[in-house]
């Protein structure tokens, strides 16, 4: 078992261990005694783990109710969000109760945002079930829903009270979804940790789960401690994301997040190497790692379409957008880029 303590506006533990979900009652009793636990999950995850979790909590005397949303990014919208809030209100949930996000990134983000805003804030726990959610979205307090014009355009910074990463749950993930999360794992190696990157390149999908997941969380902990509200160094975590979000949006979310981030990393490293920012070695290694994990290295989307999709990025500031460009494996730079130069940058990376 590995524990990483996040220190931000609220301190909390992220616990990484196989089977840790079965100890949720003990953790919950310590955080929020006598509360009703509202489990929010989705139609894929609930049938696998929902009943077990409810039994576990009820056996310890914790009252539970649950809300299950349709699986998929399309659910992360204002209607589902309002429906969760109404569900909480109709069930007389108060600030002394607690939400549990049992699912991947969509469930974690929307549950976190409901927790941040219902009654101006009630506690919540993340139980991420996907690799992507374990290493990224469940940690650090970014909560959000999508608007038709873009991903995560409405949200709040609101830290959970606890994150339980049960690595056993990864066994139930379809191979494609597991690989999708690998896009984020590779990202941490490219950003901060050459040793982690080399382990991934060497072992591919057979990487050591507990070690790699907890290492990614430690790396994220360092960033969140430095810049909880994303005004400076936290922007580094957007490596591959600015272009990736454009790819996701243009494909109407048919291209998944991890694939889009992997493609985004390939595109920025290729363009960065043409501008002599990214070394040849880094560019080639990123390409090799993305291929090794079965993630895409090419897209049929053209530069103009990608550029248009990127203009709604929430991190755009006036006429400038900050692109994160690898220099070497383990070191990246924040490069403010004029919108006028963005299209030619993308062209250089495709």
Task: List residues near ligand GLY by CB under 6 A.
Answer: 136, 140, 142, 230, 234, 237
Least distance from ligand GLY to the Cβ atom of residue 50, Å: 26
Least distance from ligand GLY to the Cβ atom of residue 93, Å: 27
Task: Provide the strand spans (E) within the chain.
Answer: 2-7, 11-16, 37-42, 64-69, 98-103, 124-128, 142-147, 150-157, 162-165, 320-328, 331-338
Complex with ligand GLY: residue 38 or 237, whichever CB lies closer: 237
Phi, psi of 130 (to 5 degrees): -110, 160
* DSSP single-letter state for residue 296: -
Least distance from ligand GLY to the Cβ atom of residue 304, Å: 27
Complex with ligand GLY: residue 234 or 270, whichever CB lies closer: 234
Least distance from ligand GLY to the Cβ atom of residue 311, Å: 20
Complex with ligand GLY: residue 142 or 151, whichever CB lies closer: 142
Complex with ligand GLY: residue 97 or 184, whichever CB lies closer: 184
Complex with ligand GLY: residue 137 or 285, whichever CB lies closer: 137
Pairing of strands 37-42, 64-69: parallel
d(CA 162, CA 182): 23
Query: How many angstroms from the chain centroid is the CA of residue 77?
Result: 17
Query: If we measure between CA atoms, which residue out of 136, 113, 155 comes closest to residue 224?
Result: 136
Among all chains, which residue has been given the structure tokens 């990864």?
170
Among all chains, which residue has been given the structure tokens 């730079």?
333
Least distance from ligand GLY to the Cβ atom of residue 142, Å: 5
Least distance from ligand GLY to the Cβ atom of residue 227, Å: 9
Phi, psi of 265 (to 5 degrees): -65, -40
d(CA 115, CA 125): 10
Complex with ligand GLY: residue 136 or 313, whichever CB lies closer: 136
Query: Which residue has its beta carbon closest to ligand GLY?
Result: 237
């Amino acid at each position: 078992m590995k524990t990483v303590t996040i220190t931000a506006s609220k301190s909390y533990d992220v616990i990484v261990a196989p089977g840790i979900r079965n100890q949720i009652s003990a953790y919950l009793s310590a955080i929020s005694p006598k509360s009703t636990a509202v489990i929010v999950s989705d139609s894929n995850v609930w049938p696998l783990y929902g009943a077990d979790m409810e039994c576990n909590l009820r056996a310890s005397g914790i009252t539970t109710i649950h809300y299950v949303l349709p699986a998929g990014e399309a659910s992360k919208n204002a209607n589902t969000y309002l429906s969760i809030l109404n569900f909480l209100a109709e069930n007389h949930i108060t600030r002394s109760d607690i939400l549990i996000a049992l699912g991947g990134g969509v469930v974690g983000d929307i549950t976190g945002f409901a927790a941040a805003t219902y009654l101006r804030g009630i506690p919540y726990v993340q139980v991420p079930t996907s690799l992507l959610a374990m290493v990224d979205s469940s940690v650090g307090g970014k909560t959000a829903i999508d608007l038709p014009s873009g991903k995560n355009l409405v949200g709040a910074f609101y830290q959970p009270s606890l994150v339980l990463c049960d690595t056993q749950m990864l066994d139930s993930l379809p191979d494609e979804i597991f690989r999708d999360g690998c896009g984020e794992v590779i990202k941490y190696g490219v950003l901060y940790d050459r040793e982690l990157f080399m382990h991934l390149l060497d072992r591919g999908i057979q990487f050591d789960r507990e070690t790699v997941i907890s290492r990614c969380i430690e790396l994220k902990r360092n960033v969140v401690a430095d810049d909880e509200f994303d005004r400076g160094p936290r922007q580094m975590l957007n490596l591959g994301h600015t272009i990736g979000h454009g790819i996701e949006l243009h494909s109407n979310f048919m291209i998944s997040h991890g694939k889009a981030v992997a493609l985004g990393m390939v595109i920025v490293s290729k363009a960065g190497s043409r501008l002599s920012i990214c070394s040849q070695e880094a560019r080639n290694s990123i390409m090799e790692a993305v291929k090794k994990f079965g993630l895409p290295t090419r897209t049929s989307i053209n530069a103009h379409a990608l550029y248009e999709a990127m203009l709604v990025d929430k991190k755009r500031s006036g006429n400038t957008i900050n692109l994160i460009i690898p220099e070497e494996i383990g070191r990246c730079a924040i490069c403010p880029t004029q919108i006028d130069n963005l299209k030619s940058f993308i062209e250089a990376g495709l």
